Amino acid sequence: MKSQLLDCILLDNGGPMTSITSLVDGHMLDILGCYYNIVLWGKEAGA
C-alpha cells in the first residue's frame, strides 16, 4: 500500500524532488487524489 502510494506520487509529480517540492509548496491535491485512486482501486479489487 505504502509503496503503491509512493510510486504514484513519484510518477504523478515527476520524481522524488518534485514530490517534496510539491509538499513544501502545499500542492496536496495530486497526492490526495493519488491516494484516493489507490484506495478506491483497492476496494474495487476486493482488497
Q: Provide the residue ranges of all domains of the chain, joining segments of one domain with +.
A: 2-44
Each residue of 2-47: pLDDT tens digit?
676 666 655 554 555 555 555 555 556 677 777 777 787 777 766 5
The alpha carbon torsion through 4, 6, 10, 16 (nearest 10 deg) reads: -160
Residue 24 pLDDT: 57
Do 45 and 12 contact (CB within 8 A), yes or no?
no
Residue 41 pLDDT: 77
Q: What CA–CA distance (Å, rounded) separates 13 from 27?
A: 10
Contacts of 42 (CB under 8 A, 6+ apart): 1
Residue 39 pLDDT: 80
How far out from the chain centre does Cα 32 lie?
Answer: 6
